[in-house]
Amino acid sequence: MNEKALFKLTYGVHVITSKKGDRINGQIANTAIQIAYDPITVTVSINKNNLTHAYIKDSRTFAVSVVGQDAPLSLIGQFGFKSGRDVDKFEGINYKLTPNGVPYVTDYTLSYMEAEVLQEVDAGTHTIFIGKVIGAEVLQEGTPMTYAYYHEIKRGSVPKTAPTYSALKEPKPVSEKYVCSVCGYTYDPELGDPDGGIAPGTAFADLPEDWVCPVCGAGKGDFEKA
């Protein structure tokens, strides 16, 4: 089987959020799609080990924040490479609550929709939650970020809990690149780190000592030469 065939499928980048009592949590997911119109129905695929999965199971509600192309890697790192069991993912993040108390991200978000779970489908490592949309708003105009843009332009990496993890084989970096041992982000001197104010052409050794991985926040000491 040629797994590269899966590269031709299109994916977005979304923040999936939910609640459990007065606690809130969220995560990055690439599988969030509309599957019906009457009623308007969407589906998301969530790893069973993730805290957001437990929150959706408890509250039977979730929200989808559609991330814009201009979103920094730090936003994706906050929701994609950290666990809500260890940190408050919403610390420093602008968000609002739906009338039902489900959070949605407002920064770098083009639109959001809230859904109540109608059905669950067991998909092995993941559960597919099918939800009826009960609220939705457009927050700003812009271009939605795709997974292809995230990988090819933003040079982002994928956590092991992502549905596409096994299919996405990261290209081997050349000797002048450095790889984050925590999340797999590759620092390429030719490209720099525009979101972090690092100009193209900046060697890894010349990065400020307080520079951190734009995805997960790891320090320079957590990078290894490829």
Q: If you average pLDDT over residues 17-32, what whole number do you get?
A: 96
Q: What is the phi/psi pair of residue 29, to 5°?
A: -145, 145
Count of positions (residues) in the chain: 226
Query: In the block, which residue shows the tokens 């129905």?
Result: 41
Better-predicted residue by pLDDT, 8 or 105: 105
What is the pLDDT at residue 147? 83
Q: Residue 145 in contact with residue 109, Cβ under 8 Å? A: no
Q: How many percent of the chain have pLDDT more than 70?
A: 89
Which of 79-83, 136-140, 147-151, 204-208 has the weakest average pLDDT?
A: 147-151
Q: Could you tell me the domains of the chain?
A: 10-153 (2.30.110.10), 178-225 (2.20.28.10)
Q: What is the pLDDT of residues 157-215, one digit of tens each?
A: 555 555 555 554 444 444 489 999 988 899 999 889 988 889 888 999 999 999 999 98
pTM for this predicted structure: 0.78
The position carrying tokens 């923040």 is 15
Per-residue model confidence (pLDDT) at position 4? 73
Q: Which of 10-14, 16-20, 105-109 shows the lowest per-residue confidence on average (mean pLDDT)?
A: 10-14
Cα–Cα separations (whole angstroms), residue 176 to 89, 141, 169, 193, 205: 33, 38, 20, 15, 10
What's the confidence (pLDDT) of residue 172?
Answer: 43
Cβ(130)–Cβ(43) under 8 Å? yes
In order of 84, 99, 164, 176, the CA distances from 80 in angstroms are 10, 26, 13, 26
User: Helix/strand/coil (H, E, C) string of 110-174?
Assistant: EEEEEEEEEEEEEECCEEEEEEEEEEEEECCCCCECEHHHHHHCCCCCCCCCCCCCCCCCCCCCC
